[in-house]
Amino acid sequence: MERILLGIDVGGSSIKAGLVDVEAGRLVSELISTPTPQPASPQAVVDAIAKLVSRMPKSDGPVGFAFPSVVKNGKARTAANVDRAWIGTDGAALLGDALGRKVVFLNDADAAGIAEMHVGAGRGLRGTVIVLTFGTGIGSALFNDGVLWPNTEFGHVEFHGKDAELWASARVRTEERLDFPAWIERVNEFLAYMHGLLWPDAFIFGGGVSDRFDEFSSLLRSPCPVYPARLGSQAGVIGAALAAAHFG
Ligand code: BGC
């Protein structure tokens, strides 16, 4: 029987929601979104999610909630691109109370990675795979033989004296007005560095900018294959719903 679950993906700039057929691993509703409130305090984010959900067809069952922070035992532990008040917040309980539903709370890049590994570019890939999402920050999800090692936060390894995401995220590309050759040079350095640390068998290149992969793929240099993410901006929502199906 088909099971339809709600996935929510909170990013630095927008919040997305969609209904996902978790057997097929695909959206069965429109992907709707709203700007992330600024400041992105816990209550403001949860209110924005509740409003977004009220615009969607009714659904039930557990809800997957992907969020850009380290998540340990249901609590956010970091807040790089959101309000610091999230640190220590039990995201599952807060959103669960607002929606009256069980909520599974997880890191956004881990959610996107789960989706890519199950139904996207990583399907069938064995060995060590690193999914990177280039957006407001750089998110990472590390898999070995399809099993996730959560909360890796490779966007925060120190690179050129600062967090890697402050050097090579998609936001930095826009803010510093870097063209693809200049930006990909930074990305290539980052991939080489990550490769030296973990010797992955493949990278999966995700985040909104992966929609334009064809425009910069010829510039990418990596010791192992780099595959474009297949699920684009839907990955976090689909992965959140898959996590809810699994852990909810
Ligand atoms: C956060 C990560 C998140 C990534 C992508 C980083 O700044 O620390 O938790 O996965 O941005 O949103």
pLDDT of 89-118, one tens digit each? 999 999 999 999 999 999 999 999 999 999
CATH number at residue 158: 3.30.420.40
Instruction: Give the chain's domain count.
Output: 2
> How far does residue 2's CA lie from ligand 1's centre (Å)?
32
> How far does residue 36's CA lie from ligand 1's centre (Å)?
15
Verify that 165 and 225 share a domain, yes or no: yes
Q: Kindly give the interhelix angle for 235-247 and 108-119, rounded to the nearest 10 degrees.
A: 90
| C-alpha–C-alpha distance, residues 9 and 104, integer Å | 12
Structure token pair of residue 68: 């850009």
Residue that has been written with the tokens 């340990």 in this structure: 72
8 Å CB contact between 119 and 231: yes
Among protein residues, the one with the nearest Cα to ligand 1's atom 11 is 137
**For residue 242, which of 141, 152, 117, 129 has the smallest C-alpha distance?**
117
Q: Which residue stretches of the chain are H helix? A: 42-54, 91-99, 108-119, 165-168, 170-175, 180-198, 213-216, 235-247
| C-alpha–C-alpha distance, residues 210 and 178, integer Å | 16
Among protein residues, the one with the nearest Cα to ligand 1's atom 6 is 137
Verify that 140 and 89 share a domain, yes or no: no
Among protein residues, the one with the nearest Cα to ligand 1's atom 5 is 139
Ligand 1 site: residues with CB under 6 angstroms?
Answer: 68-69, 78, 80-81, 107-109, 133, 135-137, 139, 153, 155, 165
Which pLDDT score is estimated for 2? 67
> How far does residue 108's CA lie from ligand 1's centre (Å)?
7
Among protein residues, the one with the nearest Cα to ligand 1's atom 10 is 139
Verify that 133 and 104 share a domain, yes or no: no
- 115 lies in some domain: no
Kindly provide the b/e burial profile for residues 67-104, where b requires at least 16 CB atoms within 10 angstroms of the residue's own CB.
bbbbbeebbbebbbbbbebbeebbbbebbbeebebebb
| C-alpha–C-alpha distance, residues 56 and 40, integer Å | 22
- 169 lies in some domain: yes
> How far does residue 15's CA lie from ligand 1's centre (Å)?
14
- 191 lies in some domain: yes
Which pLDDT score is estimated for 190? 98
pTM over 0.85: yes
Q: In which element (H, E) is residue 83 found?
A: none
Atom of ligand 1 at shortest range from CA of 11: 12
**pLDDT bracket for residue 31 (50, 70, 90):** very high
- 117 lies in some domain: no
| Model confidence pLDDT, tens digit, residues 110-129 | 999 999 999 999 999 999 99
| C-alpha–C-alpha distance, residues 119 and 127, integer Å | 17
Atom of ligand 1 at shortest range from CA of 155: 6
Verify that 150 and 100 share a domain, yes or no: no
For 2, the 3-state DSSP assignment is coil
- 167 lies in some domain: yes
- 118 lies in some domain: no
Verify that 51 and 72 share a domain, yes or no: yes
Question: Domain range holding 103?
Answer: 4-110+234-247
Q: What is the mean pLDDT of residues 54-83?
A: 95
| Model confidence pLDDT, tens digit, residues 140-169 | 999 999 999 999 999 999 989 999 999 999
- 116 lies in some domain: no
